[in-house]
A = this chain, B = another copy of it.
Amino acid sequence: MSVKRASSARGRTERAIVTAAVGVWARDRAATLPQIAEAAEVGRTTLHRYFPEREGLVRAAVEHGLEAIGGAIAEAEPDHGHPLAAMRRVVAALASVSEAIMFVFGDQSLLRDVVPTAEPDPPTPHDPVIELIRRGQAEGVFDDQLSAEWIQQVLWAVSYTAFEQVEQGTLAKFDLTATVTRTLERGITARAGERAGSEPEL
């Protein structure tokens, strides 16, 4: 069989389908394939040509989402600068791929069922966010009484919550990063002598 290079058309169509799948499933995990096809502006037939089985599209969408998230985090350079500043950059980066996050992490079964088959061996080869948290703990910036994994989960959870709030209009998109970082850094309690905007300098 000849190794046929995918024509540009194939590549574009496939991207459109996968992107549409992430977007639609982020808002409704029960969406049907015709809905995906419509969102991708392709025919049902075409969708089936690219992804003969639903499972294949789910897997591709998850991988695409994880790639987008990983890319955004990498761009935020979590391994540079003051840990707090790095974390703020990461939060801002996550906001730019909120759709992917709400899709991938909106359904526990996705990560439990799809990822194991996608990446066989290492449970988490080297998660840059975990590394950032450990670095911050070592430098005395993050609470080392909490496990790095727990802090990471909280980071995801609070970010996810903020995305939802923005989605339903309860939180202004503009305030997202500030609200999330303030909550993460200080919790929900007041401080003696606090004033608005009195975050520590970095």
Contacts and interface: CB of A to CB of B under 8 A. Distances in A.
Interface string A164-196: 110000110000000100111111111000101
Given A154-B161, A158-B157, A184 B188 contact: yes
A160 interface: yes
A146 interface: yes
A151 to B, nearest CB: 5
A149 interface: yes
A124 interface: no
A189 B141 contact: yes
A160 B161 CA distance: 11
Interface string A141-160: 11111100111011111101
A84 B184 contact: no
B187 A185 contact: yes
